[in-house]
Structure 1
Amino acid sequence: MDPLTFDYEDLHLRVDRGVFELFYLTNPASTFRVPLRWLGALVHYKKPNQPGKLSIGSVRDPNAALYGTDPAAFWYSTSPAFRVPHNDEPLFRAYFTEVAALADRRVV
């Protein structure tokens, strides 16, 4: 099976053999790897007319939702230095829905 990838601006997301990897292409030191069992992702919007913040990390409980994870469920998270406009959130949701299917986990 080929890796499942997603590119958005300077962000490259990749799933291969049960491991999720995040690469921030403008800052090679900002990488993140985690087994799918512990992956959590969320685009959080504080204000309706403002872009949201993407958080990707590991969750405390592997039964937590993979995408749409409650911020309190994160054990560790990394937030790439960019915002996600409301119109682009469905792109992230679609990708993480595919990832969740691979991991036999749910999305919110």
Structure 2
Amino acid sequence: MEPLTFDYDYLHLRVDRGIFEQFSLATPADSFRIPLRWLGATILYKKPAKPGKLYIGSVRDPGAALYGTDRQAFWYSTSPSFEIPPADEALFRAYFSEVAALADRRVVTG
């Protein structure tokens, strides 16, 4: 099976053999790697119609949602330091929905 990848601006996301990897092409030292079982991701929007911030990290409970993860469910999270416009959230939701299906995990909708 080919790796499942997603590129957005300078962010490169990749899933291969049950491992999720995040790479920042702007700052290569800012990478993150974790088994899908513990992966959590969410985009936090503080104000309507304003860009939000992507958080990716490990969750305390592998039963937590893989995407749309409640911030309280994170054991550790990192942000690739850029903002995501609300219109682009659907791109991330689509990618993480595919990742969740591979991991037999759920995605929070709405």
Give the structure-2-normalised TM-score.
Answer: 0.97
Secondary structure, in 3 states, of the residue corresponding to 1:53? strand
Alignment match, 2:71: 71
Q: Which amino acid aligns with 1:5?
A: T
What's the Cα RMSD here?
Answer: 0.4
User: Where in structure 2 are there 5+ consecutive unaligned residues?
Assistant: none
1:50 CA drift (Å): 1.0
Q: Determine the structure 2 residue equivalent to 1:18.
A: 18
Secondary structure of residue in 2 paired with 1:101: helix
Residue 31 (str. 1) matches residue 31 (str. 2): yes
- Residue 81 of structure 1 deviates from its aligned partner by 0.9
After superposition, what is the alpha-carbon deviation per residue over 1:44-72, rounded to whole angstroms, capped at 9, x for unaligned? 10000210100000000000000000000
Q: Give the Cα separation in 2 of the matches to 1:5 and 1:60.
A: 25
How many residues are matched? Answer: 108
Give structure 1 stretches of 5+ with no counterpart: none
Q: Write out the 4+ residue segments of structure 1 that deviate beyond 6 Å after TM superposition.
A: none
Q: Give the letter aligned to residue 96 of structure 1.
A: F
1:97 equivalent in structure 2 = 97
Measured in 2, the distance between the counterparts of 1:47 and 1:25 equals 28
Q: Post-superposition shift, 1:30?
A: 0.2
Alignment deviations for residues 68-93 of structure 1 (CA, whole Å, 9 cap, x no partner): 00000000000011000000000000
Structure 1 counterpart SS, 2:21: strand
Identical columns (%): 75
